[in-house]
Structure 1
Amino acid sequence: MAGERAAVLNAAIRSSLQKGRALHERGQPGEAQRLYRGVLAIDPDNAEALLLLGSACDQCGDTVQAERLFARALRFEQRYAWAFANHGSVLVKLGRHEAALAPLQEALKLDARYAPAHVGHGNALLGLERHAEAQAAYERALAIMPGFAEAWSNRGNALRALGRPADALISFDQALALAPHDYAVHTNRGHALRDLGCPEEALRSYRLALVVRPRVPELLAQCGTMLLALGRDAEALACYDQTLEINPDDIDVLYKSCVALDLLHGYDELLARSDRILARMPDHAAAWLGRGNALQGLRRHAEAAEAYAEALARAPALHVALSNQGVALRMLERYSEALESYDDALQSMGPNAQLLVSQGHTLQQLGRYDDALASYEAAIAVEPVDAAGWALRGGALQQLLRFDEALDCYREMQMIAPSKVDAHHEEAYCRLLIGDFAEGWKKYEYRWVDADAARSRRHADRPFWTGRESIAGKVILLHSEQGYGDTLQFCRYASLVEARGATVVLEVPRALKDLLSSLRGVHHLVAIGELLPAFDLQCSLLSLPLAFGTDLDSIPAQVPYLRADITRLRKWEQRLDEKAHPGKLRVGLAWSGNPTHNNDLNRSIALATLAPLYSRGASFVSLHQHVRERDASALAQSGIIHFGADLEDFADTAALIRNLDVVISVDTSVVHLAGALGKPVWVLLPRVPDWRWLLEREDSPWYPNARLFRQHKPGDWATVVEKVAHALTQRIEANTAKDDVASL
């Protein structure tokens, strides 16, 4: 009876093992496990069942249980190389690389030509960072089995670790030829391409890996990094956002998303994400940098300076924070602090091109152009300077009146960054400033390559008039593109366009619409945002000088070409009569422009600078709607008539100006308004002004009624105001003499 029972049990074991192996081979390891466990319930030490169950558990991801089963089986059965090799492989998966070596070496003793044992041995050595030995192990496996995909793949990993990404790439390609849908191989191939500096190809490999295993956060993050390297910042941010949907607390990815937001100028969200990082990691220096950049972009310069200081307290060698802190301090007009920061950094770190450029920029803001140029030269001696550095150097050279050298800088910029438009812009402004209109207007057209400027170009599907085509019988849209002053200066061309037989539609900012209704040559006047009539062609106002081949001798300078509304004229005459001194010269004043203008520091002045004018016997009238906080006290004490918000638009300001005798202004839209109205206007200019005022001359070919008062030394407004005061005294005396004659 006992013998029969044993025979039945043995038969049941053989049957279960046979069925289990069949299920296992069909890719059903979970179902196979039930049969293997049934065998072990009958015979707990059945080595075959232990080994097969260990293999099934390994395939199902239960590596811990697999290792226990292999270890137990090998106490009873030590004849099979594959058994030792499998034990070693699960130990590698568990990160127990040193422990894995013994069973793998035992497997190789039993069968030196068992390729999986060589691969397992290589994997253990790879985990122990014995990369050259691992490479050799994989190559032994491939000598035995050239079609072993895992050996090719892991050989690639060893070669990457040895700093040989090109050789690794060959291995990964061999692996993919054998296993084209292997997620790990696509991923590692992407890493090799990344190491080789091929972000586009790396991105493709990562995306192929994501096809096999979608929404893997590490892969999504790698895609973001490659997109960032390719300048595709919005797509990079989308990848990082997908990663954060899966792992919202991944600080590294959260910071990378901050980098993308910074590049995209998404400052509100950048501030929020930087603060998220800092809430968890208050000493994250790069997050403090991101916070500073966000605040800088939001024009909260004082807070930005504080954030940069926090970044530098944690990472003193963070050059970008130092440089950006200097920008914040410059915006706060704390120049000495900015220079002190750069000097300290350069002393402690030694020559650094980025810091030297930033130092030069600060010196340039202070009008110390020779010193600024020395900083730029020092930066170039350290390492090649980027296009922005060459732009600053060119600007310093212009301020030193060394225009040929400045043009050389802009040509250098064009070679460094041929796809960027900034160098062409700078060259255009320089050429126009020195009166080279022929080349200047051509270079100025490069602005349309710039994404921000291109958005101002209306209706991309309509032809752009260049001046060469006939427009007789055509409807042409002329449109504003930049500031109010530009519109006021170049709207004069509308009558010239009409003279060529065209019907002119003029589109302008709403604040200018009422005023420009007096402009000759315009058939339809619309404000930006209003419905446009049908038209055939278009041209920006600032492209018209090129279209007409304008040079210094052909500037259309017949003034006035704008007129004030008669009803408003009478209104402002009455208001002035109520406030001004009877019989005194009436002088309009404008001392500052748009504070966001990139040259505001050089062109705007504090109201107090004009104090020497007040003692002259005249009635002074502010032409500002809004006054900067720094000037509020000086205005209150000056006796200047100030209407403020009562000046609702440019039509009001035009009517007020027409009731004045002369306008004195820095380079703002007020100058262009007074010029277009034919009113005498005295313009206060820095040593090197905006291009339209040219150089040295005291008159303007654009406005015959303008008189230019120029600095001879950078920043020397006192001498300019002194000259204006003298001229004003002469004008007052002439006005008084005229009144005396009239009273006889």
Structure 2
Amino acid sequence: MDAFSVAVRRRPGNPRFLSCLASALARADRAALAAQTAEQVLALAPDHVPAMQTLAVLRLKSGADEPRQETFDRILAIDPEFIPARHQRGLVLAALDRHDLAVEDFTRILRVLPKCAVVLIRRGEGQLARRNLGSALDDLNAGLAIQPDHEDGLRARAATLTWLRQNDGALADLERLLALDPAREQTHLDRIRLLRALDRKALAALAADDGVKALPHSVEILFERADLNQAGPLEPVLRDLDEIERLKPDDPRALDLRLTVLLRHGKNDELYQLSDRILATNPDHAHALFWRSTAQFRNRSFADALAGFERVIQLAPADSWLSNSAAQCVAEIRRRSPK
């Protein structure tokens, strides 16, 4: 950057030197001065492609502009072979869910730079979004062979392998991601949920423990651990649910899970107290009504249970698990007491 500054001082009106200085300032995170310098270039040479590119990217990063394909269309109309603009347009198109066009831009770059790891990975992400899984895996494998620790590439390959049911490979990529960044919540969640989907519940519980150790204040990971452990001892589950309540009061999933485990463990008094508290502020809370009615059903308070289940059917979405379960309970109560 110092060399460009000297060149600009010697030849202050030279667009090429000014543009190089703008790019160097942008790389040094001096965004305001970089934008000012790029604007100075464009005042001298309105079609100066590198300055147009620098300014467009700076405005995107700052949030001054929304991602718009047209910004980079203008640059590529002047110089169709300008790779930075084509790459950036591909990224913008991907952000706009125009993955077909994004893949075309990345493919055009790869004709010139066939071993560019980042572009291979970006095209692989686009192919994954289009569910071209074989092509996605080919691109991601090629990109990661060049740049093995590219986190977006590992994440996309894990997702691709999951779709292809190559689950051990997906787990290996997720574990590699956690080794690179142990504090990324989504990676912990992806690993836990994949293990659960594979019915490897003991490993999923260990993965949830790892997640809570790394991110003790993650509501999502705490919830996954509580949900995994609900069939085990009650106290650890309640501790996780208490922490969720502290971090995110009245989280609906946590309240529902608390009602579930209280019922599972026969803690009817606590269940009634919690459901009373919920229903006092929201009489139409379908989950609280359902679990309270289930406890009443088990205690043979059939009239109260029947009224609760019928109300749940009115409140819950049609053909949902909740409404269907309530309907089954209503049928069972009526079978037992036909009058």
TM category, shorter:
0.7 to 0.9
| Corresponding residue number in structure 2 for 1:284 | 218
CA contact under 8 A between 2:290 and 2:309: conserved in structure 1? Answer: no
| Corresponding residue number in structure 2 for 1:495 | none
CA contact under 8 A between 2:262 and 2:268: conserved in structure 1? Answer: yes
1:355: Cα distance to partner? Answer: 5.1
Match among 299, 318, 332 for residue 265 of structure 2: 332
| Residue pairs, 1:401-412, within 5 angstroms | 401=334
Query: Bigger CA drift: 345-354 or 310-319?
Result: 345-354
| Corresponding residue number in structure 2 for 1:73 | 7
1:321: Cα distance to partner? Answer: 1.9
Structure with the largest fraction of helix: 2
1:204: Cα distance to partner? Answer: 5.7
Is 1:344 aligned to 2:277, yes or no? yes
Aligned equivalents of 1:351 and 1:159: distance in 2? Answer: 44
| Corresponding residue number in structure 1 for 2:208 | 274
Q: Whose Rg is larger?
A: 1
CA contact under 8 A between 2:182 and 2:214: conserved in structure 1? Answer: no
Match among 33, 53, 67 for residue 119 of structure 1: 53
1:199: Cα distance to partner? Answer: 7.2
C-alpha distance 139-234 of structure 1, shift in aligned 2 (>3 A): same
C-alpha distance 347-303 of structure 1, shift in aligned 2 (>3 A): same
Is 1:370 aligned to 2:299, yes or no? no
CA contact under 8 A between 2:56 and 2:71: conserved in structure 1? Answer: yes
Q: Residues 644-688 of structure 1, C-alpha deviation per residue, up to 9 Å, x if partnerless?
A: xxxxxxxxxxxxxxxxxxxxxxxxxxxxxxxxxxxxxxxxxxx4x
**Corresponding residue SS for 2:10:** coil
Is 1:155 aligned to 2:89, yes or no? yes
CA contact under 8 A between 1:122 and 1:134: conserved in structure 2? Answer: no
Aligned equivalents of 2:67 and 2:196: distance in 1? Answer: 44
Which letter maps to 1:254? H
Which letter maps to 1:91? L
CA contact under 8 A between 1:296 and 1:328: conserved in structure 2? Answer: yes
Match among 228, 234, 241 for residue 308 of structure 1: 241
**Corresponding residue SS for 1:200:** coil
Aligned equivalents of 1:134 and 1:279: distance in 2? Answer: 41
**Corresponding residue SS for 2:87:** helix
Match among 94, 97, 100 for residue 165 of structure 1: 97
| Residue pairs, 1:573-652, within 5 angstroms | none
Which letter maps to 2:97? P
Aligned equivalents of 2:271 and 2:171: distance in 1? Answer: 33
Which letter maps to 1:318? D
1:286: Cα distance to partner? Answer: 2.5
Is 1:109 aligned to 2:46, yes or no? no
Match among 123, 131, 136 for residue 200 of structure 1: 131
Which TM-score applies when normalising by structure 2? 0.78
Number of residue pairs aligned between Structure 1 and Structure 2: 328
Which letter maps to 1:330? L
1:300: Cα distance to partner? Answer: 1.9
What root-mean-square deviation, in Å, do the aligned CA atoms of Structure 1 and Structure 2 show? 3.7
**Corresponding residue SS for 2:148:** coil
| Residue pairs, 1:478-497, within 5 angstroms | none
Aligned equivalents of 1:226 and 1:359: distance in 2? Answer: 42
| Residue pairs, 1:45-194, within 5 angstroms | 67-132=1-66, 135-158=69-92, 164-166=96-98, 169-180=99-110, 181=114, 182-185=116-119, 187-188=121-122
**Corresponding residue SS for 1:296:** coil
C-alpha distance 230-150 of structure 1, shift in aligned 2 (>3 A): same
Aligned equivalents of 2:277 and 2:44: distance in 1? Answer: 68
Which TM-score applies when normalising by structure 1? 0.39
Aligned equivalents of 1:225 and 1:365: distance in 2? Answer: 43
1:314: Cα distance to partner? Answer: 1.8
C-alpha distance 87-247 of structure 1, shift in aligned 2 (>3 A): same
CA contact under 8 A between 1:199 and 1:230: conserved in structure 2? Answer: no
Is 1:245 aligned to 2:245, yes or no? no
**Corresponding residue SS for 2:63:** coil
Aligned equivalents of 1:362 and 1:236: distance in 2? Answer: 41
1:329: Cα distance to partner? Answer: 0.9
Is 1:216 aligned to 2:150, yes or no? yes
State the identity %.
Answer: 16
Aligned equivalents of 2:275 and 2:157: distance in 1? Answer: 37
CA contact under 8 A between 1:126 and 1:134: conserved in structure 2? Answer: no
Q: Residues 571-607 of structure 1, C-alpha deviation per residue, up to 9 Å, x if partnerless?
A: xxxxxxxxxxxxxxxxxxxxxxxxxxxxxxxxxxxxx
1:103: Cα distance to partner? Answer: 2.1
| Corresponding residue number in structure 2 for 1:318 | 251
C-alpha distance 178-313 of structure 1, shift in aligned 2 (>3 A): same
C-alpha distance 137-288 of structure 1, shift in aligned 2 (>3 A): closer
Which letter maps to 1:174? E
CA contact under 8 A between 2:310 and 2:326: conserved in structure 1? Answer: no
Which letter maps to 1:398? A
Match among 325, 331, 337 for residue 398 of structure 1: 331
Q: Residues 36-90 of structure 1, C-alpha deviation per residue, up to 9 Å, x if partnerless?
A: xxxxxxxxxxxxxxxxxxxxxxxxxxxxxxx233223222234543332222223
Structure with the largest fraction of strand: 1
**Corresponding residue SS for 1:215:** coil
